[in-house]
Amino acid sequence: MTDSAALTLQDLTKHFGAHAVVRDVTLEVEPGELIVLLGPSGCGKTTTLRLIAGFVAPTAGDISLDGRSIVALPPHRREMGIVFQSYALFPHLTVARNVAFGLEMRRGPASATAARVSEMLRLVKLEALAARLPRELSGGQQQRVALARALAIHPRLLLLDEPLSNLDAALRQEMAREIRILQRAGGITTIMVTHDQTEAMAMADRLVVMHEGRVQQIGAPEAIHAQPANPFVARFIGGSNILQGRLESRCLVLPDGTVLALAGQYADSAEVTLAVRPDSVHLLAPDSDARAAGVVELCTWLGSVVEHVVRLGPDTTVLTRGPALGRDAVRRHAPGTRVSLAWEPDEERLFSAEGNALTASVTLKETNDA
């Protein structure tokens, strides 16, 4: 059943007038893989999806399926199943006719079409609603019809454009799981677009983080979370604290005079950016050996986690987050409390002014020996 294809994007570029929306996107997708294009709105992820679908033509670059370029093919000959954010069901056709649409276009025998339609409706658990019109269905049901319609044609590629954003929170997680199970069971190569990083993390085999039309980083969700390639990725994934300043020996000096002691030693002493995730910053009693000292400005209890905003200097605050319950529960500090900050050496990410990751020349082991 797996006729899913390998997808290759080569230096894909799209200009709208003078504005470059997608720039030099290069990506290799394995058969059966689920790739999520993630980024803020306007980052070019939806345009990339529309380029793959054939709704817009690239300005430059190539798209190929199993090694054969499809750039010249119109959308109706690309054999891709697409689920739109609005679901885009045909309002005048019943659920069954919606699912049958792609099969009717292929002019297969009526009995085969009917069998495939009922198979798909069973798969998405909508057999009972086959004769309904789309407007008589809930959002989640419409979503499932859209998915069944896209999968019915045995697409070479499944494209999902923000498929969960119109569903409420509880349904969203359920649908995410359902889509993931269907996709894995069918071994369907899938490209999904979303701006929601939790959703992306939950579904992706690999993430493609995009910003201003460019690919910022490609990798497994865990890898991107642990090793963001640049400050943008660090901020977008995991919501890191981003502090820009100058390196002086082993300290980071911020424009407002705040000084942070870094865990590693870095060769470059020019302008740098430090990224530390809120959940890797620990609050300790005031201590001269700490990385930085500050005053708690706000303590927020969010049920399972506690967040503190700590002011380090006139223009500098840092967000910390830790579990509210359990063995590792963090202490809650009242506003005004003096605290110091600490983080493990491997939780600290330093980037050059150009946005490249800097590696510490002194490793953790050497630091301990000193």
Residues that bind other proteins (CB under 8 A): 53-55, 74-82, 84-86, 88-92, 101-102, 105-106, 146, 149-150, 153, 159
- Integer Cα distance of 276 and 46 in angstroms: 29
Nearest to other proteins of 141, 197 (CB atom): 141
Rounded to a whole number of angstroms, the minimum distance from the CB of residue 3 to other proteins is 15
Whose tokens are 């793959």? That residue is: 52
How far is the C-alpha of 76 from the C-alpha of 271, rounded, in Å?
A: 51
**Smallest gap, in angstroms, from Cβ of residue 49 to other proteins?**
11
Nearer to other proteins, 86 or 300 (CB): 86
Give me the least distance between CB of 16 and other proteins, in Å please.
Answer: 13
Q: How far is the CB of 35 from other proteins (least distance, A)?
A: 18
Could you tell me the smallest distance in angstroms from the CB atom of residue 63 to other proteins? 15
Nearest CA-CA partner of 241 in 256, 257, 223, 228? 228
Q: What is the DSSP letter of 267?
A: S
Distance in Å, CB of 164 to other proteins, minimum: 16
Distance of alpha carbon 216 from alpha carbon 236, whole angstroms: 11
Select 134 or 238, whichever has its Cβ closest to other proteins: 134
Q: At its nearest, how many Å lie between other proteins and the CB of residue 210?
A: 21
Give CA–CA dist 298/309, Å, rounded: 5
Q: Left if phi > 0, otherwise alpha if psi is -120 to 50, otherwise beta: which for 212?
A: left
Closest CA to 126 of 98, 102, 104, 153: 98
Choice between 101 and 265, CB closer to other proteins? 101
Closest CA to 45 of 165, 231, 213, 202: 213
Q: Which is nearer to other proteins, 75 or 314 (CB)?
A: 75
Neighbours of 133 (CB within 10 A): 16
Judged by beta carbon, residue 78 or residue 195, the one nearer other proteins is 78
Which residues on neighbouring strands pair with residue 299, listed in sequence order?
308
Structure tokens at 289: 């050996």
Nearer to other proteins, 44 or 134 (CB): 134
Structure tokens belonging to residue 252: 């980071």
* Residue nearer to other proteins on the CB measure, 44 or 102: 102
CB atoms within 10 A of CB 299: 18
Q: How far is CA 126 from CA 92, 101, 118, 370, in A?
A: 18, 17, 9, 66
Residue with tokens 């817009």: 56
CB of 46 to other proteins, least distance (A): 11
